[in-house]
Amino acid sequence: MTRKIVVTGGAGYIGSHVCLELVQSGRDVLIIDDFSNAHPEAVNRIGALAGRKVDFLRADLADHGQRQAVADKIKEFGADGAVHLAGLKAVGESVAQPARYYRVNIGSALTLVDAMEAAGAKSIVFSSSATVYGDLNQNPVTETGRTGATNPYGRTKLYIEEILKDVAAADGSWGVVNLRYFNPVGAHHSGRIGEDPNDIPNNLFPFIAQVAVGRRDELSVFGNDYPTRDGTGVRDYIHVVDLAKGHVAALDYLEKGNRGATAVNLGAGRGYSVLEAVAAFKRASNRDIPYEIAPRRDGDVAEIYADPTRAKELLGWSTEKTIDDMCADHWRWQSQNPNGYAGD
C-alpha cells in the first residue's frame, strides 16, 4: 500500500529535496506551500525529476481562514503521515519580529496537528534545528544535551518540539520524530533544484555560491577571533540529500509502528570552519571567493557539531556525502541557475 505523505513547505529548499526522496522511496506526496519562501517552478522540477506529478495545495497554514481548506485537502488526499517544514526561518528577522515568528511558526504547527488528527493520520516528522542547543553543550552534541535557544526563531523550534511531545503524551496513537538539523547545504546532483533565498542570503553557503557566480562582490566572514582552529565559526555541514534521506528513515521508523515522540540529530558528526568551507567551494567551483573579515554576528556560537549515534541506532541513518560533494552539487545548482528559479 502506497504511503501518502503531506509535506508542508515542500516547495522550499529542504522540502523539494525531501519530496523527491519520498517519491523515489515509493510514497505519494501532497505539497502544502504558500510560496512565501519558495517558487512554483520548484514543484514542476520535483515532478520532472520524480517522473510523476506531485499533488499540491497553495495555502498558508498560519492563516486561520485557510484551516478548513487544509484539513479538507489532507483528508481527501488520504494522508498517512506528514513532514512539517513550513515556517519562517531567518534568525535575525525573528529577533526584530518575534510575535510574527511565534504566530506563524507555532500557528502552522497547530493547524497541521489538527488536520492530521481529523484525518486519523497521527504521524509527524518535524523540521527542528540544532539551534535549540544554543551554546550550552560540549561538542559533539547529543540529543540529551541541554536546550535553550538564543533567539525567537530557535525558540519556536523548541516550543513546537514540546507541543508535539505533549500531543504524543496525551494520545499514545501519535508518533513524532523531531529532527534536529545541523547545517544543510548542497543540492540534488542534477542541478535542477536547490537553495534560492528570497533576498540577501543569511546563511554561509548560499552567500558563498552567489559570490562565486558573480551575484555578490565578496563574503563577510563574521569574526575570525573565535576559539576554533582558524578563528572562524565551525559548523556541522550536511548534504541536503543526506538530510532528505533522514526524513525517509524517520517515516520508515514511524510506519513500523513506533509511537511516542523522540528527537534525533541529523548531522555528520564533524565540523568545518568558515575558511575551510570557502576553500572547499573554491576547489569545487574553480572560482575565486573574495572575503573580508567582519565583526562577529550576534547570536552566533563558536563551534557546534553533532553526535550522530542516535540517528544510526534508531533510524539506521548516517551521512554519506563529503564537503566536496556538498560544494560541487551546490555549485552545479548555482551555476546552472544563476538567478535561482526566477531564471534569466
Catalytic residues: 153
Smallest distance from the beta carbon of 23 to ligand WQD, in angstroms? 23
Regarding 235 and contact with ligand WQD (CB under 6 A), the answer is: yes
Smallest distance from the beta carbon of 220 to ligand WQD, in angstroms? 5
Smallest distance from the beta carbon of 129 to ligand WQD, in angstroms? 4
Residue among 290, 250, 246 at smallest CA distance from 266: 246
Q: In Å, how far are 74, 145, 196, 273 from 286, measured between CA atoms? A: 46, 39, 21, 19
Each residue 26-65 as x (binds ligand WQD by CB under 6 A) or -, in order, gives ----------------------------------------
Which amino acid, 150?
Answer: T
Residues that contact ligand WQD, how many (by CB under 6 A): 18
Positions in 72-101 near ligand WQD (CB under 6 A): 89, 91
Positions in 96-125 near ligand WQD (CB under 6 A): none
Do β-strands 260-266 and 123-129 pair in parallel, antiparallel, or remain unpaired? unpaired
Smallest distance from the beta carbon of 171 to ligand WQD, in angstroms? 29
- For the sheet with 303-304, list strands across it: 272-273, 234-235, 303-304
Regarding 297 and contact with ligand WQD (CB under 6 A), the answer is: yes
| Residue given cell 541536503 in the structure block | 240
Positions in 269-288 near ligand WQD (CB under 6 A): 274
Among 19, 204, 254, 327, binds ligand WQD (CB under 6 A): 204
Positions in 180-199 near ligand WQD (CB under 6 A): 183
Smallest distance from the beta carbon of 89 to ligand WQD, in angstroms? 4
User: Applying CB under 6 A, which part among 140-148, 191-199, 201-209, 333-341 lies near ligand WQD?
Assistant: 201-209
Residue among 300, 310, 319, 125 at smallest CA distance from 240: 319
> Torsion angle, CA of 261/59/56/28, rounded to 10 degrees?
10
- Neighbour-count burial of 186, counting CB atoms closer than 10 A to its CB (0-12 exposed, 13-18 middle, 19+ buried): buried
* 275 conformational bin, left if phi > 0, alpha if psi -120 to 50, beta if neither: alpha
With beta carbons less than 8 A apart as the criterion, state whether 321 and 241 touch: yes
- Enumerate residues 6+ apart whose C-beta is below 8 A from 265: 130, 141, 142, 143, 180, 182, 306, 307, 308, 310, 311
Among 131, 156, 178, 334, binds ligand WQD (CB under 6 A): 131
**Residue closest to ligand WQD (Cβ):** 233
Footprint of ligand WQD on this chain (CB under 6 A)? 89, 91, 129, 131, 183, 202-204, 207, 219-222, 233, 235, 274, 297, 300
